[in-house]
A and B are shown apart, each in its own frame.
Chain A
């Protein structure tokens, strides 16, 4: 019977085991017992499986930089090999009791008496269980005899490793397709696809694989509706594997060198639930509820690491250390404790950190239901803002923070500390890009509308604001002014999205306030929240995929939509006769004419990108319109203008088809896009050269690539989307948006390539740093490499060591004079425009 059984030898599990080993060693010194009090169980045959699977030489980052490591194992940023070797040495030195190939199938029992059943039938007993199994899961196997043969692989490290082999790739998902395409460069590859097509694949992969299979010159083929029946070692002299494939037309025997099966992983959630651990909802990224000590709802079962919602290595290692201490009754302060101290340093009162966190949580109704750990994480990731009245108090607080910041400046990167703001100062202004979310812990905040009559709304304790930009990605539409005695929590978008996905309370709270504020903004600026509560409860929030239809031309309309995010195209006519007459962006109304004057829908509304919209039915609309303070006049004016605009576009179909082209190129969600007029472009590539010269020798735009229509060329360069696809899944949170709207990648990029895969416009590249070049004068006089990116540059050893990093257009954020590409264009062909100028762009094509 062990005191602790740790399941999973990733960073969290390793660190936990190392801690337990150290505790044992100390105990043994006192002469008590000699058998280890714990066991580390790992299904794979090596430690840190996920990191073992990284490509060779991949750089592993030690984010977040401001958090200190607390572990018996060493960890710092470095290559995959170095990190793994250091852990290996640490395990050896500490004498960690690890069992490889020990896959836990079932956990039963209660605290102090758990039975862990292994795949081989053995049962291990432990008083406590620490689950550190991560999110990857074990790969799904072939499910046919021979699935464990040596040449049947479930991963592919380096496709170049194999040459002139016959390889069967099993699966039809993205990883199978990517592997097959890469292998087919120098091998004969057969894909074994269970279905009739590649329906699960991303669009780019789908078209690539279909084209490659059809192409006679590529060494890639596919068996559709096929599966593997058995695998046996080949006879001497023959290829190493003999495979029986079940195809639609019967069994077929194939000789091959290797099988690579990419059938996905078995998600660990089922296993976790089988232990009795509850998840708050059905979402894929939901995380189990845990106590401050990482204990789940099953007493004695602890969850740490990415499964507990902490995907970063350092966090996971710290938790491993802490959880063993907690189990042993040592209620130590977590490693992030000092971070909270800095956050609270500038508050006008002093209290212990834990008490303060608790107090904050009770003051904000929306966060009350959150689990304590999550709320703590939220505060750590947020900024705490405190206001003081102008004068001595403000000066004093500022001085106090200056002293602290000076101390913290030594740390790299610098941890966050309280932000001091003067009363009456603007927290944000209209037009600024900001996607953070603000919660009022104390005091008041005044929101002032950007449009006359500049309606002012007062918000108090427990209320929140900034949700519009958070949800839609649009710039701020109002001004937020810090009132008296304000204490605010400013939470970054990434944290809020994570929270909304895991906490129904938070999601519905934010959705609700969004609806109310949009109703206020569009229809009833003077109405109070209370007035609108009733109506807000009756409107529906609808989600649309790209290309879905909101309503059709000719229908009788009974509702209008307020677009919360995404974009909608309005078109008249049917089929090939269809003419695009307008595009509507988030924050605007669609279909309002049906409720104001003409009940027949005159256009078909289709989403250009995924969109969220609030649907308001006639009844609720009339209720709003009947209010004395209703704001119908400007609405009606808008409608009249829209009718004329739409009719104008209808009589100019060529303008409509240009607009259509722009939408297809993603301008429906763009905020800042590079547009080249082909009738002015002389092809000098000075734009690309300027980009490379101002961005470390690597160009972030490809002038020639990209589509052209009616002389309008949209080169391959970032569109700075309203809701950037690239930001969705960035582990170190390296992709940021500046206040002026530019989306850029900062130095903490770990080179994982997620953003590149997520960008639908192919504008992100993974590159090594380019070597330094000599100056312009030296080139003019002595020759050599001129301005611009050298297409075949050789990275230095240091650049190779650092690894490939993602680069994309940052619209020259922070550079005086604006985007270098535009400034360097000699003919005026290259310009950067925002959505408000798209209509002008279409208009100018009249000539």
Chain B
């Protein structure tokens, strides 16, 4: 095996690091004794808190390391692998630091933000491991540009065949091509929103979700075809439209899968910064009340 995913980097080296760190933290937690319920105020609590705070800073630093292209400090894959394992460990370390205590206060806010960041990270990890396989399968070796090239080719062909059919077919096909939507806003990208329309005979455009409307419309004309040649053209056109539908589905799926692959970062990063502010406030306030 010469390609390894980020969890398996160097035989999952950082999984073992994290486990060691967790065992150490567990021991610290257990030695807090029974004087008072375990919390962040004991010396063990301070140590655990410091480890957690340093971990957060280091985890955030991945954003800088990823863009430090000249550094020889490990590879970005190694850093990412460590980021995942140590980030997961942080979840437990911070919980131990808090001694399982929560409340409506600044401290719990920092804790909650951290949970959000970590779980959004889990989602990201899932997408990183899962989506590339789906994207690759969906494209079957081609690129997105090739899919679009195929689409434009089909557009052209459908238009020219539809010109040879009855005028309303021509209008329906031309309008369906013009009013096909792809992508769009965040929602449309992530959930394959489809605002496509087409003109059915006369009047205002009607919905054409998944291009099914226009396909049905053309198919309905077939039984009423006057001449053999018209039927042949309609048959041809339906095949073209179905191929077009399949290509559009692929492109939409590609947009969706790639969207999810990127979108979580737009959440993960800003919440991380919110966490940094909350963490600073948490530390400062702790020392103020000391």
Q: Which residues of A contact B (CB under 8 A)?
A: 677-683, 686, 689-690, 693-694, 704-705, 707-709, 711, 776, 780, 787, 815-817, 820, 822-829, 831, 833, 837, 840-841, 844
Contacts and interface: CB of A to CB of B under 8 A. Distances in A.
Contacts of A776: 64, 67-68
Interface in B62-90: 64, 66-72, 75-77, 79-80
Contacts of B144: 704
Given A679-B132, A679-B133, A683-B258, A826 B6 contact: yes
A823 B75 contact: yes
Interface in B1-52: 1-6, 9
Given A683-B261, A831-B3, A824 B69 contact: yes
Q: Which of A679, A822, A841 has the most CB of B within 10 A?
A: A679
Contact of A682 (B1, B64, B128): B128
B143 interface: yes
Contacts of B258: 683
Contacts of B67: 689, 693, 776, 787
B141 interface: yes
A289 to B, nearest CB: 53
A114 B31 CA distance: 110
Given A680-B3, A683-B258, A690-B69, A823 B141 contact: no
A829 B80 contact: no
B261 A822 contact: no
A694 B71 CA distance: 10
Contacts of A841: 2
Interface residues of B, number: 34
B131 interface: yes
Nearest to A692: B69
Given A690-B69, A708-B141, A824-B69, A829 B75 contact: no
B66 A827 contact: no
Given A828-B9, A829-B132, 15 more contacts: A678-B136, A686-B66, A704-B144, A707-B141, A708-B143, A711-B136, A787-B69, A820-B70, A822-B75, A823-B76, A824-B75, A826-B6, A827-B128, A828-B6, A844-B3
Contact of B72 (A816, A822, A826, A844): A816
A828 B77 contact: yes
B47 to A, nearest CB: 31
Contacts of A679: 132-133, 136
Interface string B262-289: 0000000000000000000000000000
Nearest to A695: B69
Nearest to A690: B69
A351 B142 CA distance: 68
Given A680-B5, A709-B141, A693 B72 contact: no
A694 B70 contact: yes
Contacts of B5: 680, 827-828
B66 A826 contact: yes
B3 A828 contact: yes
Contact of B80 (A817, A826, A840): A826
Nearest to B8: A828
Interface string B175-201: 000000000000000000000000000
15 contacts: A678-B132, A681-B132, A689-B67, A693-B70, A704-B143, A705-B143, A711-B136, A776-B68, A823-B69, A824-B69, A824-B75, A825-B76, A825-B77, A828-B4, A831-B2
Contacts of A711: 136
Contacts of A690: 69
B284 to A, nearest CB: 23
B207 to A, nearest CB: 32
A829 B135 CA distance: 14
B103 to A, nearest CB: 34
A117 B80 CA distance: 78
Nearest to B9: A828
A820 B72 CA distance: 9
A822 B131 CA distance: 21
A833 B2 contact: yes
Interface string B117-136: 00000000001100111011
Nearest to A827: B6
Contacts of B4: 828
Q: Which of B64, B131, B132 has the most CB of A within 10 A?
A: B132
A707 B261 CA distance: 22
A683 B127 CA distance: 12
7 smallest beta-carbon distances between A and B, as pairs: A817-B72, A678-B136, A677-B3, A693-B69, A690-B69, A708-B141, A826-B80
Contact of A686 (B76, B128, B132, B145): B76
Contacts of B128: 682, 827
Contacts of A682: 127-128, 131-132, 261
A838 to B, nearest CB: 10
A806 to B, nearest CB: 22
B129 to A, nearest CB: 8
Nearest to A787: B67
B239 to A, nearest CB: 22
A825 B77 CA distance: 6
B230 to A, nearest CB: 25
A681 B72 CA distance: 22
Interface in B229-280: 258, 261
Contacts of A844: 1-3
Contacts of A681: 132
B149 to A, nearest CB: 13
Contacts of A677: 3
Interface in B96-153: 127-128, 131-133, 135-136, 141-145
Given A686-B76, A694-B70, A711-B136, A829 B141 contact: no
A776 to B, nearest CB: 5
A823 B144 CA distance: 26
Contacts of A827: 5-6, 77, 80, 128, 132
A513 B208 CA distance: 75
B3 A824 contact: no
A776 B63 CA distance: 11
A223 to B, nearest CB: 27
Q: Which of B76, B80, B261 has the most CB of A within 10 A?
A: B76
A711 B3 CA distance: 12
Contacts of B80: 826-827
Contacts of B9: 828
B183 to A, nearest CB: 15
A652 B133 CA distance: 22
